[in-house]
Structure 1
Amino acid sequence: MRISIWPGAGQPYADVLEVARHAAETGWDGVYVADHFMPNAGGAYAPDHPVLECGSVVAALGATVPRIRIGTMVYGNTYRHPAVLANMAATVDQITQGRFTLGVGAGWQINEHEQYGIELPPVGKLIDRFVEALQVLRGLLRESRTTVHGEYYTLTDAVCEPKPVQDPLPILIGAKGEKRMLRVVAEYADMWNTWGRPELIAHKSAVLDRHCLDVGRDPRTIARTAQALTVVDGPLPTDLPMPVIGGSLGKLADEIAAYRAGGLDELLIPDGLLGTGTDRFKAMDKVLSLVR
């Protein structure tokens, strides 16, 4: 099972770079960056708390941090035209010499759409739009020319050059909805991601397997990735909306083993509960020791 770090984009770039470099130097497999412009309304941070822009950060990390894979977790489809995103992804893959993972999702955070005047359609249309975007992305990144005449996007004999170094560049889809979104994963993704503790991930992975069989795809061709907030040594917070693992090294080891037993290919560790400075490095080292 691979292990990757997820430094929060709501901290100075120097800190994100520090975490990524430590991960690369100590044997982690990847580093992921979230795609948001501001904290979610009602969350732990004030609405004007600084947040770094994802595309700029992954390009910078790709140019300065060696060896480790770089990924987005995940680009919101509503924020960028997929043809623009395809060119961004191909360029970052060139910068990293083939180490980029393109993580994408349908989009969801209401306050970002409201403040910036970006349309956030109802869920059904949001997913329809996302499916068309995936057709655009796959075409531009993998074919010499792409034509898509859809309801949301129109491309005619379009090119995207240079192509990514990787052939194909892996497309990761963030999705939790079992009825429709996991079917989209089965149809279009190389990798899948969602939040959850081991038992939830195992359940949703089994649902994804069934969708793969329905569309005639080998479930083993989709890598499974997941994350939960992680406490290495201390009490678990009880007031957070996201799943949390750990609390002690023994408990964390058991939960990592459960992810592995459930068929998880890659575990992402958000750095939000790992501390800062040297404490964060020590926590990262302890997590890594449980996986290797």
Structure 2
Amino acid sequence: MRLSIWPHAGQPYGGILEAARHAADSGWDGVYIADHFMPNAGTGRAPDAPTLECGSLVAALGAAVPRVRIGTLVYGITYRHPAVLANMAATVDHVTGGRFTLGVGAGWQVNEHEQYGIELPPVKARLDRFTEALQVLRGLLREPTTSLDGEYYRLTEAYCEPKPVQDPLPILIGGSGEKRMLGIVAEYADMWNAWGTPELIAHKSAVLDRHCAERGREPKEIARTAQALFVVDGPLPDRHPMPVLGGSVGKLTEAVEAYRRIGLDELIVPDGLLGQGADRLRAMDVIRGIVTG
């Protein structure tokens, strides 16, 4: 099971770089960055708290940090035209020497769209547009030219050159809706990502397997990735919108082994509850020790 760190973009760049370099130096496998411009209203953080931009961060980390894979978790497709995003992804893959993972999602955070005047359609239209965007991304990153006469995007013999170093550059899709989103994952993804406890991820993964079977695709072709917040040593928060696991080394070990038993390919650890500075680096070392056994 691969292990990756997810430094939150609401901290200074120096802190993000510190976590990424420590991951590279201590045997972690990857570093992911979320694509947001501000905190989500209602999460307990001020909506005007500073937040660094994802595309710039992954390029910077790709140049500054060796060995580990660099990925986005995930680019909101509503923020950038997919042709622009394809060129960004190909460029970062060259910057990293073929270590980039393109994570994409349909978009969801309301306050960002409202403040910037970016359309956030209803769910059905959002997923329709996301499906077209995936066709654009796969075409531009993997085919000589791409044409599409869609409802949302129109491309005519379009180029994206140079192509990525990787052939193919992996596309990760984030989402867990069982009726439609996991069907989109089964159709277009090389990797899938969702928040969840081992039990929830096992359930969602089984649903994804069924969508793959309906499309005649081998489920093992799609790598399964997931994340939860980890507490290494201390009480768990009384209330949190995301799953929180651990509290002691023993409980963390139980959680990691549960993810391993369900066949998770990659465990991603957000750094939000790991502390800061030296405390965070020590927590990272404990988690890596648990995962590598």
Residues 142-165 of structure 1: CA deviation (Å, up to 9, x unaligned): 000000110000000000000000
Q: Distance in 2 between matches of 1:252 and 1:18?
A: 23
AA partner of residue 115 (structure 1): Q
Instruction: After TM superposition, give the deviation of residue 248 of structure 1 in Å.
Output: 0.6
Gaps of 5+ in 2: none
Over 3 Å off, 4+ runs: none
Instruction: After TM superposition, give the deviation of residue 239 of structure 1 in Å.
Output: 1.3
Q: Distance in 1 between matches of 2:259 and 2:2?
A: 11
Local SS of the residue matching 1:269: strand
Gaps of 5+ in 1: none
Instruction: After TM superposition, give the deviation of residue 211 of structure 1 in Å.
Output: 0.3
Q: Distance in 2 between matches of 1:13 and 1:44?
A: 22
AA partner of residue 16 (structure 2): V
Q: Distance in 2 between matches of 1:62 and 1:131?
A: 28
Q: Distance in 2 between matches of 1:161 and 1:182?
A: 30
The question of 1:232 aligning with 2:197 is answered: no
Q: Distance in 2 between matches of 1:145 and 1:67?
A: 31
Q: Distance in 2 between matches of 1:44 and 1:61?
A: 28
Residues 228-267 of structure 1 mapped to structure 2, 5 A cutoff: 228-267=228-267
Q: Distance in 1 between matches of 2:48 and 2:226?
A: 28
- Give the structure-1-normalised TM-score: 1.00
Match of residue 113 from structure 1: 113
Q: Distance in 2 between matches of 1:246 and 1:155?
A: 48
Local SS of the residue matching 2:157: strand
Match of residue 58 from structure 2: 58
Q: Distance in 1 between matches of 2:165 and 2:38?
A: 32
Residues 136-155 of structure 1 mapped to structure 2, 5 A cutoff: 136-155=136-155
* Identical-pair percentage: 75
Instruction: After TM superposition, give the deviation of residue 44 of structure 1 in Å.
Output: 1.9
Residues 17-42 of structure 1: CA deviation (Å, up to 9, x unaligned): 00000000000000000000000011
Local SS of the residue matching 2:242: coil
Q: Distance in 2 between matches of 1:213 and 1:42?
A: 39
Match of residue 168 from structure 1: 168
Match of residue 290 from structure 1: 290
Residues 167-188 of structure 1: CA deviation (Å, up to 9, x unaligned): 0000000011001000000000
What's the RMSD between the two structures over aligned residues?
A: 0.4
Q: Distance in 1 between matches of 2:83 and 2:167?
A: 18
Match of residue 83 from structure 1: 83
Match of residue 199 from structure 1: 199
Instruction: After TM superposition, give the deviation of residue 64 of structure 1 in Å.
Output: 0.5
AA partner of residue 234 (structure 1): G
Q: Distance in 1 between matches of 2:238 and 2:220?
A: 35
Instruction: After TM superposition, give the deviation of residue 90 of structure 1 in Å.
Output: 0.1
Instruction: After TM superposition, give the deviation of residue 45 of structure 1 in Å.
Output: 1.0
AA partner of residue 118 (structure 1): I
Q: Distance in 1 between matches of 2:148 and 2:104?
A: 19
Residues 216-243 of structure 1: CA deviation (Å, up to 9, x unaligned): 0000000000000110111011211000
AA partner of residue 104 (structure 2): V
Match of residue 24 from structure 1: 24
Match of residue 182 from structure 1: 182
Q: Distance in 1 between matches of 2:43 and 2:287?
A: 26
AA partner of residue 33 (structure 1): I
